[in-house]
Amino acid sequence: MWVAEGPVSRVAEDYILATFPSVVATPAFLDLPAHVLIRLLRSDALNVLHELEALEAASRWLMANGDGQEDVAKEVLSSVRFALMSTWELKKVPSVTAGVADPKVVRELIVASLAPMAQLPCRVRSLQEVVVVCGGEKLTSNLAARKPSRHLWFAHRYLSAVGLVKKVEWRALGHFPDGPRFRHATAVVGNALYILGGKHYYGVHDTLASVYRYQPMDDSWERLASMSCGRSYFPAVALGGFIYALGGSSGELNPLHCQRCQPLPMALCGHAACALDGALYVSGGCDEASQCQASLLRYIPGAAAKLLAPMNGPRAGHIMEEAGGQLYVAGGLCQRAGQTGYRDQLAFEVYSPKLDVWVLLSPLPRAHVVGGAAVVGGELLVLGGYSHETYQDTHLIHAYQPGARRWITRGTLPHAYTELQACVLTVPPALRGPSCLEDPSRSPETPNSA
């Protein structure tokens, strides 16, 4: 791997910064020149779960390239932000740096970074694009009822914490202009967020057809033309200048402002969809008999849907996201074999469009039925939802790292949401200012009102 100077290098470095955990796991990471590694480690946009990951990456590179060069080791390690580490992480530093740097030098770097008179504040690392969660429903504080949400939150940063569960600092982005909404669909075009359909409350006749466009950079909402019918429990996908609303309450496939589309082969709800290489892919869902499907459909505008290789098992209420030219499917529920009722679907699998085959990967650590999903920093995030077997909501965020082929716990949502939507947006710089932990004069806006 070589990151040359010039415009191409900026694109390459942005990719490495965003997908750092996956890049570190490759042999090519060890070929990075020292000055490029230092520049990456010093970037505010470096995507690491916690600062110890940055130190582990630096130590791995030094083990392969250091060759006793103390000056290089000191410069590389000084690019790690020890001040962002928790006590638990700091205790790990000696074992992580063993054999790559003089312990005395490492101690000096830690002391210097933690000194009260440090000349520069230790800036928090954060990607330009952030995960946004919008709407959904949650239990009330007294657990007596469920309450739909109208709020949009974005993940400002990930905080180190002791134990397996990390913390996420969530900040308010906005709220729906027409009240709460769940079982809705979202699509992103450019940096504009489209909100389609869903429900305000729980009435039979409460299914919405309305569509709104949200511009995060100026916090503005615009009402657009409504869909041809109300829909809930359905996906929406942006493709070729149109936004497609697929199935749901009507079982039809209609794009906004376009009436020349073939219908889906069957009525579906609780299915998932995404776009890849100019086509729409639709996976799973429940048919009119409430039977979970294992089917995968490919739909090219202007042509009939085509059945592809089915998934390894049926599922509904799941997520499907595209990453690296492949389709990843996780979560949801399925029928119990030979029994009535449903069970959690923990199987996780990936589809190759070139080979038309599915491959099973490591299963989800926990159930995520009707949760949200997003791909950011080269990771697949699965957020919230519930377990059908325990009927417990979850506030956990699990992330799959393709490079390391593992699931990690990325943190928690503001609340244990179900029926939510997630996406990736760029938010105004003013909202990314110092947190309450960086500036004691600021008090955090609590997410408890969501």
Per-residue pLDDT tens digits for 140-162: 877 778 999 999 999 987 765 55
Q: What is the pLDDT of residue 15?
A: 83
Among 372, 445, 448, residue whose Cα is nearest residue 410: 372
Residue span(s) of the chain under CATH 1.25.40.420 come to 7-114
Q: What is the pLDDT of residues 98-115, one digit of tens each?
A: 999 999 999 999 998 877
pLDDT surpasses 70 at 68: no
pTM: 0.78
Q: In this structure, are residues 236 and 186 in contact, taking their beta carbons and an 8 Å threshold? A: yes
Please report, rounded to a whole number, the percentage of residues in the chain having pLDDT higher than 70.
87
Q: What is the pLDDT of residue 95?
A: 94
- Read off the pLDDT of each residue in 347-373 and give the average, rounded to a whole number: 97
Q: In this structure, are residues 344 and 333 in contact, taking their beta carbons and an 8 Å threshold? A: yes
Spatial separation of the C-alpha atoms in residues 103 and 171, rounded to whole Å: 39
Residue span(s) of the chain under CATH 2.120.10.80 come to 129-432
Q: What is the pLDDT of residue 442?
A: 33
Residue 416: how many CA atoms within 13 Å on its side-chain side?
Answer: 14
Fold for the domain defined by 7-114: 1.25.40
pLDDT band at residue 410 using 50, 70 and 90 as cut-offs? confident
Spatial separation of the C-alpha atoms in residues 183 and 50, rounded to whole Å: 33
pLDDT surpasses 60 at 3: no
Residue 342: how many CA atoms within 13 Å on its side-chain side?
Answer: 21
Which residues, listed in sequence order, are joined to residue 406 by a DSSP beta bridge? Answer: 401
Q: Which residues contact 30 (CB under 8 A, 6 or more apart)?
A: 60, 61, 64, 65
Tokens of 252: 């039809």
- Which CATH number is correct for 129-432, 2.30.29.30, 3.40.50.2000, 2.120.10.80, 3.30.2130.30? 2.120.10.80
Q: How far is CA 222 from CA 132, 174, 191, in A?
A: 19, 13, 14
Spatial separation of the C-alpha atoms in residues 197 and 450, rounded to whole Å: 20
pLDDT surpasses 90 at 435: no
- Read off the pLDDT of each residue in 377-391 and give the average, rounded to a whole number: 93
Q: What is the overall mean pLDDT for the chain?
A: 86
